[in-house]
A and B are shown apart, each in its own frame.
Chain A
Amino acid sequence: MPKGIRDKVVLLGMGCSQFGERWEDDSSDLLLEAYQECIEDAGIEKKDIQAAWIGNHIDEISIGKGGCYLANTLHLPFIPVTRVENFCASGTEAFRGACYAVASGAYDIALAAGVEKLKDVGYGGLPDSPVFGQLARLISPNATAPGLFAQLATAYASRHKVPMEKIKEAITHISWKSHQNGAKNPRAHLQREVSESQIADSPFVAYPLGLFDCCGVSDGSAMAIVTTPEIAKKLKPDQELVKVKALQISVSSGEELLFNQWDGSGFMTTRHAAQLAYKEAGVTNPREEIGMLEVHDCFSITEMVAMEDLLISPSGQAPDDIVNGFFDLDGQIPCQPDGGLKCFGHPIGASGLRMIYEMYNQLLRRWPEDRLVKDPKLGLTHNLGGVPSQNVCSICILGKE
């Protein structure tokens, strides 16, 4: 069995830009905003960074290919810089590159950045592109992300014999809760509270998802500098250390897409990655041991089914947990304390690192009282990129000692 990287990597510093419609800013401005906070927090200088990774999904309208954009923006002095892309897990993939670099001993200090500039597309939603290749384009439906994720609802309703009204009630509560949390967060894209009836009555984007079931399409960047526990202790002798407890990625095998066993009501990848991550982190009862969640709520329904795939809610019970407030900020396991993709926003390549940023600051108790999770214990972040039948899932578990 592989040993994993539990407790081998420490977050030395993090930064996150304001998310939102940053009409006046380039990807480089967003990166620099996150970088300034990150390097200051890490307490090091640029020359101390030995390797860097940048996560970015839709390169054609922002930073282009390769690692040059990040290297040029920061003028990194001829160090290795790698651009990674793995759908919505791209930010976490950049983080994985940096963590593995440090855990392997190849480097002492590495940087992981994520950035996405979506508001140069010119229309709402994500741009149309042949994400699964040219043959798939000739076969796949004329689909958008909301339509593909919306089908989780029809499949879930069929599998668990749950009426669509009950699902609608649960996903409405999910968006309501994210707006409650986002409203408290000055860096979130959407900072307004909305009522449950406003959410439930919003026009359909893709049945049964309404406008408020869809996350914000945002510009933003987030960044992390990682190192070993030994170096961190030397550099920051007085600070508590936030450690990586687990970092797992799972990618669809084609089974969901082509084979008839998967019923479309959840994510095989999330289940797979969650089991591996709990094992790596030494978690045996996630419902008791995980203290807070930042999950991939690209759509409210994605968050709902994730609660079961992450083995937090028992099968068929996620809607009940949700409406009972289990995942509210004052609930047993607060989910999306920063507002989530729904309200903090979803600049794809930055999202994974933004989630880690929230866990990091919660664990270090840096937020004002009204945003703090009571007992954060371990924090879990979860990205789900692609579509339900073909996707990439990343899970990261963070904790203190």
Chain B
Amino acid sequence: MVGICSYAGYVPRLRLNRMTIFSAMGWLNPAIIMNAAGDKAVANNDEDSITMAVAAGRKCLDYYDPSHLGAVYFASTTAPFKERQNANIVAGALAAEENIRTADFGGSVKSGTAALLSALEFVAAGSGEKAITCAADCRMGRVSSVQEMVFGDGGAAIMVGKDNIIASYLGSYSVSCDFVDHLRGAESKYDRQWEERWIRDLGYEKIIPQVIEGLCKKHNLQTSDFARIIYPCYYGGARKKINRRLGLDPSQVQDELMMDAGDTGSAHPLLMLAKALEDASPGDKLLMVSYGNGCDALYFEVTEEISSYQNRTRVSDSIKTQSELTNYLQYLTWRNMLPVDLGMRGEEDRPTRWSLAWRNRKALLSMEGTRCLECGTQQYPPQRVCVNPDCGALDRMEPVVISNKGGIITSFTSDMLAATSNPPAIYGNIDFNGGGRCLMDFTDCTLDDLQVGKSVEFSFRIKYVDPKRDTTFYFWKAVPSVEVSDNA
């Protein structure tokens, strides 16, 4: 039997209230008021689909050793690279081994379930012990478009395996068709869509019931057998019609997170599944459906193991940890939709030296440092000569991954001179738990969140973008630890 071992969702901290968009752009397209309720989750200026996939993947691996991963799959329609496997960056950041299978899934927002199905089949075939699917999307609509309103940024990860399963995988059913409701050419930045009435009536309302009914028929089930049915569809009217046609009680239908996040594309069915698992009970049957040029439907049954897992990680925490982005122009600036002037300091050329990045890939991707076998001193970046002045041993080191250790702040500042689209640049010195230290960028915080002695965790983020060579480089940043209260 194969199934889900762990799950995690990642909703970025920033929220753009949809009325903020409407206030700025309603004059141009008043009809967007129809979609102006709730918040759109917005990736920070140093986040993209890779970093959000990593954020979800790391949470998913919280209690697992990444060396057990046999495959790392990345799913997104907004992968930063066309050539240079995105999944390898994700796998590196997760500190996975290099003798594993990696693959990128894309081309449709059902790529998240395509990757998950491949992961399940990878484990079922005995190809490896565990496989993780990390999905994330950061889709863009044009200014004042419906897509700008309904799309949200986010990620989710599901790890599958054969042992300690919290939800058994029992079957699937797929429908694949060239239904072109949404479209983005290879060179296009923005989503283009056909008439919404057609998308709603012939897309969601026809294809989703078709796949659900297909799965039920294939596995001899009734929709009433499912404790939860999870499907993405941001048209409220269409959801009602689908529920009615399938005879679903509203309590059976998983909330689509439109008020808190928006449609997170490839990640969305996985994010909704993670949220459903958070509240699931042993014995619950779950039906998960993706939607995008067809549908995948996956059928799970929750096991007794779920109860021990549910306290560990909660999508709700990620949803609750939020801060409002009040300035629509700031959002446009971060998405390169406004020709702002960052000053000449921001124009300095920074080519990436790929041979150097290769030699140091473990230090850069998973923050692998060294620990001295003679004196035990942990140090980063990797040293050959021990930095402890009382030791100084040469080549007596073992590797140690620092990215999951966290640390404490020993000094900090906020810098108005540094070139950034998110001023001020906040950075400081972090002493790692277990030893060693590094001067690091901070992210997802303000100066007021910082004090000497405060705990931080590390988050894999965009270090810089090189527009001249269309390249993004990633590294870890410090984020002040957040205590999430239990009061929803």
Residues on A close to B: CB < 8 A? 122-125, 127-129, 134-135, 137-144, 146-148, 150-152, 154-155, 157-158, 203-207, 253-255, 257-260, 263-264, 389
Contacts and interface: CB of A to CB of B under 8 A. Distances in A.
A147 B415 contact: yes
A148 B438 CA distance: 13
Nearest to A122: B344
A205 B435 CA distance: 31
A151 B379 contact: no
User: Lowest 8 CB-CB distances: which A-B pairs, in order?
Assistant: A147-B415, A141-B427, A151-B411, A158-B452, A150-B413, A155-B411, A141-B441, A123-B344
Given A259-B379, A260-B436, A139 B419 contact: no
Contacts of B473: 138
A156 to B, nearest CB: 9
Interface string B360-384: 1001100000000000010111010
Contacts of B453: 158
A146 B389 contact: no
A184 B428 CA distance: 38
Contacts of A151: 411-413, 428-429
B296 interface: no
Contact of A207 (B379, B414, B440, B441): B414
Contacts of B100: none
B463 interface: yes
Contacts of A135: 356, 360, 363, 381
Contacts, number: 135
27 contacts: A123-B343, A127-B348, A128-B348, A135-B356, A140-B439, A141-B425, A142-B427, A142-B441, A143-B415, A144-B425, A146-B415, A147-B413, A147-B414, A151-B411, A151-B413, A151-B429, A154-B412, A155-B429, A158-B410, A158-B452, A158-B453, A205-B416, A206-B424, A259-B379, A260-B431, A263-B410, A264-B429
Contact of A138 (B414, B431, B475): B475
A135 to B, nearest CB: 6
Contacts of A127: 345, 348
Contacts of A257: 437, 439
A137 B348 CA distance: 13
B273 to A, nearest CB: 36
B388 to A, nearest CB: 6
B180 interface: no
A123 B410 CA distance: 31
B450 to A, nearest CB: 8
Nearest to A258: B387
B410 A125 contact: no
A138 B357 contact: yes
Nearest to B432: A260
Given A139-B475, A259-B388, A147 B417 contact: yes
B452 A142 contact: no
A258 B436 contact: yes
A204 B414 CA distance: 9
B353 interface: yes
Contact of B416 (A123, A154, A204, A264): A204
Contacts of B427: 141-143, 147
Contacts of B436: 258-260
B418 interface: yes
B425 A143 contact: yes
Nearest to A146: B417
